[in-house]
Amino acid sequence: MKARTSPSELSSSAVEGRTALLANARTVVVKIGTGVLTAPGGGIDRAVLNGIADEVVALTTREPQRRVFVVSSGAIALGVEQLGLDARPKRMDMLQACAAAGQGHLIRLWSEACARHQRVVAQVLLTHADLADRTRYINARAALEALVSRGAVPVINENDTVSVDEIAFGDNDSLSAQVANLVKADLLVMLSVAPGLLDDAGVRVPFVGPGDRSVDRFIRSDTSAGGKGGMVTKVRAARAAAAAGASAVIAPGRAPGVLASLFAGDDVGTLFAPDPTPRSSRAHWIAHTLRPRGTLVVDEGALKAIREGKRSLLPSGVRVVRGTFRRGDPVDIADSKGHVVARGLATYASAEIEKLRGHHTQEITEVLGYHLGDEAVHKDHLVILG
Ligand code: GLU
């Protein structure tokens, strides 16, 4: 597949930059989509899975300081086979059943593939609820770090059997971006059936600079057979990783040696450059992992104070409270037109902010009969969205 801009057309510094970004990556998340692992006639393509396992192991063998975390799809596709179904079911309970039947098999294939290199595989199943809870989030990070410190290969998947609706990540692209932030990765590689992001003429886009939105018009909404994500979720995941300071690549997962060639600086896939002013891991967790439980519509003065002054949101600036949330829950902060400008953790519950809105901080005790803080959302728990 021809690239939109060949490396020779890219400036030499961009090519060097690409090589440096990839070759120097120390903490890497490699996400493998269902389409990559699925054989043309159905079932898992063992040769592809073994090839990727070989490459993952080689990355850390060549560079012992490098830590690699795998996010592998394929449980549902394998479960379809295990339960003797003709096609991927639509019903949620059957999908959950497929995930349960297929996950054990998936991890066995990974274990066998890595055992050929005397490497142990560790299964890690996560739901969104696990990462939305800060204590569980920190514990998950510690467990993953302990695993790689012992040379194990963590193979992470969404716990699809118990994760539906609002506790679900929904797709492994999104999960992989959250994992990248969890382990503070400097590179996220999403291995896909596509060669990368393609433009209108079907030609690969090699590089997307920080904050570059010009490629958005190329994002098509179709997904590969058997998988849940698509280019929409991949680009969103790449941008989320970039906001946390990681590079992200969408690369052709069925191409033999794809990881080695990426790390050699070859012009493969679509590379999203990291944001030069990344958010802290915790700010990223607030902005990208948490899901808002309500919205605070604020006035112009409050908007200016949080945006430009980097100040807390005070109850006096809140005009409208939407949704029902508890103290500490994530909430969106929106302008009067409904545009969400920030996300943060509410100091007070929705019913309390409803009583406090428009009031000055000195009036809080009088209005509520108690005082938990001066602000509706404290600046330490508030993130301005891009
Ligand atoms: N977690 C799902 C599986 O293992 C895949 C989700 C996705 O395709 O993004 O089958």
Q: What is the pLDDT of residues 171-182, one digit of tens each?
A: 999 999 999 999
Contact partners, residue 68, CB within 8 Å, separation at least 6: 28, 29, 30, 56, 59, 60, 148, 153
Q: Are 189 and 31 in contact (CB under 8 A)?
A: yes
Mean predicted confidence (pLDDT) in 30-50: 91
Residue 219 has pLDDT above 90, yes or no: no
The pLDDT, as a whole number, for residue 62 is 85
Cβ–Cβ contacts within 10 Å for residue 116, how many? Answer: 11
Would you place residue 30 in the very low, low, confident or very high pLDDT band (cuts 50, 70, 90)?
Answer: very high
Quick: pLDDT tens for 88-118: 899 999 999 999 999 999 999 999 999 999 9
Could you tell me if the CB of 171 is within 6 A of ligand 1? yes
The pLDDT, as a whole number, for residue 6 is 40
Could you tell me if the CB of 229 is within 6 A of ligand 1? yes
What is the distance between the alpha carbons of residues 79 and 75, in angstroms, rounded to a whole number?
6
Could you tell me if the CB of 107 is within 6 A of ligand 1? no
Ligand 1, closest atom to CA 103? 4
Q: HSE, CB side, 13 Å, CA atoms: give it for residue 26.
A: 4
Mean predicted confidence (pLDDT) in 37-58: 92
Q: Name the CATH superfamily, with its identifier, for domain 292-384.
A: PUA domain (2.30.130.10)
The pLDDT, as a whole number, for residue 5 is 45
Name the CA radius of gyration of the chain, rounded.
Answer: 22
Could you tell me if the CB of 74 is within 6 A of ligand 1? yes
The pLDDT, as a whole number, for residue 9 is 44
Would you place residue 223 in the very low, low, confident or very high pLDDT band (cuts 50, 70, 90)?
Answer: low
381's enclosing H/E stretch is: strand 377-384
| Residue having the nearest C-alpha atom to atom 2 of ligand 1 | 73
The pLDDT, as a whole number, for residue 358 is 96
Question: Which of 3.40.630.30, 3.40.1160.10, 3.10.129.10, 3.40.50.12780 is the CATH number of 7-284?
Answer: 3.40.1160.10
Would you place residue 7 in the very low, low, confident or very high pLDDT band (cuts 50, 70, 90)?
Answer: very low
Single pTM value for the model = 0.87
What is the distance between the alpha carbons of residues 351 and 323, in angstroms, rounded to a whole number?
10
Would you place residue 227 in the very low, low, confident or very high pLDDT band (cuts 50, 70, 90)?
Answer: low
Q: Probe ligand 1: pick from 85, 158, 175, max atoms within 8 Å of CB?
A: 158
Q: Probe ligand 1: pick from 125, 128, 157, max atoms within 8 Å of CB?
A: 157
Quick: pLDDT tens for 112-150: 999 999 999 999 999 999 999 999 999 999 999 999 999
Distance, CA 98 to ligand 1 centroid (Å)? 11
For the chain, domain boundaries: 7-284, 292-384
Distance, CA 106 to ligand 1 centroid (Å)? 11
Would you place residue 211 in the very low, low, confident or very high pLDDT band (cuts 50, 70, 90)?
Answer: confident
Residue 349 has pLDDT above 70, yes or no: yes
Could you tell me if the CB of 343 is within 6 A of ligand 1? no
Residue 167 has pLDDT above 80, yes or no: no
Q: Is 386 exposed, middle or buried (0-12, 13-18, 19+ CB in 10 A)?
A: exposed
Ligand 1, closest atom to CA 98? 10
- Categorise residue 136: left if φ over 0, alpha if ψ from -120 to 50, beta otherwise: alpha
The pLDDT, as a whole number, for residue 42 is 75
Residue 263 has pLDDT above 50, yes or no: yes
What is the distance between the alpha carbons of residues 30 and 267, in angstroms, rounded to a whole number?
18
Go through the chain and tell me how many residues it has: 386
